[in-house]
């Protein structure tokens, strides 16, 4: 599938100087690289990401594009309860987090027009999938849940 300009992303939350679930994020990224036949990055992604954990609380994004890995970090915004809408376009589940973000950009634009903070993406079957830039999690008793990939 090697295509110039086509890449993968992995976004992580840095909390209290740690990156929770770093191994799982890196495993998903490696699995997607292999399954899509993309070139492996020359850099050690763990070594690129780990120094940013010293930032305290932040959002860290790894992008692998054309065999190169890069890391960006941004400040964690103030977290007031968000106002969200349901995106009008049905969401199609996908096994890989790629740089093809058109459906997410469309939903974010729809939220902006509605003066909402974000849009929730919903599958054809009516299941909540994710937000435009964040995953959904909720507590079910003592278990933390998130929507299935399929």
Check which CATH number belongs to the domain holding 134 and give it: 3.20.10.10
16 plus 55 within the same structural domain: yes
The secondary structure of residue 62, as a DSSP letter, is E
Q: Which of 47, 75, 103 is the last residue of a domain?
A: 75
Query: Looking at the predicted structure, is the pLDDT value of residue 12 above 80?
Result: yes
> What is the tally of structural domains in the chain?
2
Query: Looking at the predicted structure, is the pLDDT value of residue 1 above 70?
Result: no
Rg for the chain, CA atoms, rounded:
16
Q: Chain-wide mean pLDDT for the chain?
A: 88
If you search the block for the tokens 């994020």, which residue do you land on? Answer: 25
Q: Which of 29, 44, 75 is the last residue of a domain?
A: 75
Beta bridge partners of 127: none
- Band (pLDDT 50/70/90 cuts) for residue 78 is confident
- Band (pLDDT 50/70/90 cuts) for residue 60 is very high
E strands present in 2-67: 7-14, 58-65
If you search the block for the tokens 């100087």, which residue do you land on? Answer: 17
16 plus 70 within the same structural domain: yes
Q: Which of 56, 75, 94 is the last residue of a domain?
A: 75
Q: Which domain covers residue 60, as residue numbers?
A: 7-75
The secondary structure of residue 21, as a DSSP letter, is T
């Amino acid at each position: 599938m090697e295509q110039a300009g086509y890449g993968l992303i992995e976004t992580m939350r840095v909390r209290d100087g740690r990156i929770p679930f770093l191994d799982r994020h890196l495993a998903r990224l490696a699995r997607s690289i292999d399954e899509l036949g993309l070139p492996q990055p020359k850099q050690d992604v763990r070594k690129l990401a780990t120094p940013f954990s010293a930032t305290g609380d932040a959002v860290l994004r790894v992008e692998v594009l054309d065999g190169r890995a890069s890391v960006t970090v941004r400040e964690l915004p103030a977290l007031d309860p968000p106002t969200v809408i349901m995106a009008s376009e049905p969401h199609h589940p996908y096994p890989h987090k790629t740089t093809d973000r058109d459906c997410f950009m469309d939903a974010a634009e729809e939220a902006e027009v509605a003066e909402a903070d974000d849009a929730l993406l919903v599958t054809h079957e009516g299941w909540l999938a994710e937000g435009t830039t964040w995953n959904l999690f909720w507590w079910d008793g003592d278990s933390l849940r998130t929507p299935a990939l399929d």
